Amino acid sequence: MIKKIKAVIFDLDGTLVSSRLDFNWLRQQISCPENEDILTFTANLSDPKLQQRAHAIIEQHELDDAQAASWLPGAKRLVDHLYQHNYPLAIVTRNFSEAAQIKLRNNAMPITRVITREDAPAKPDPTALLMVAKEWHLTPEQIMYIGDYRYDIEAANRASMMSCLYAPDEQPDYASQADIVIQHFDELTLKMS
- Tell me the pTM: 0.94
Q: How far is CA 189 from CA 14, 32, 130, 178, in A?
A: 18, 39, 24, 18
Q: Which of 14, 157, 3 is nearest to 87 (CA)?
A: 3
| Rounded Cα gap, residues 131 and 115, in angstroms | 9
What are the chain's domains? Answer: 2-19+70-191 (3.40.50.1000), 23-68 (1.10.260)
Instruction: Report the pLDDT value the prediction gives residue 117, as an integer from 0 to 100.
Output: 96
Single-letter amino acid code for the residue at 23: F
Mean pLDDT per block of 10 residues along the chain (193 residues) reads 90 96 92 93 94 95 95 97 96 97 97 97 97 98 97 98 96 96 93 80
pLDDT per residue as tens digits for the range 34-82? 989 999 999 999 999 999 999 999 999 999 999 999 999 999 999 999 9
Instruction: Report the pLDDT value the prediction gives residue 99, as an integer from 0 to 100.
Output: 97
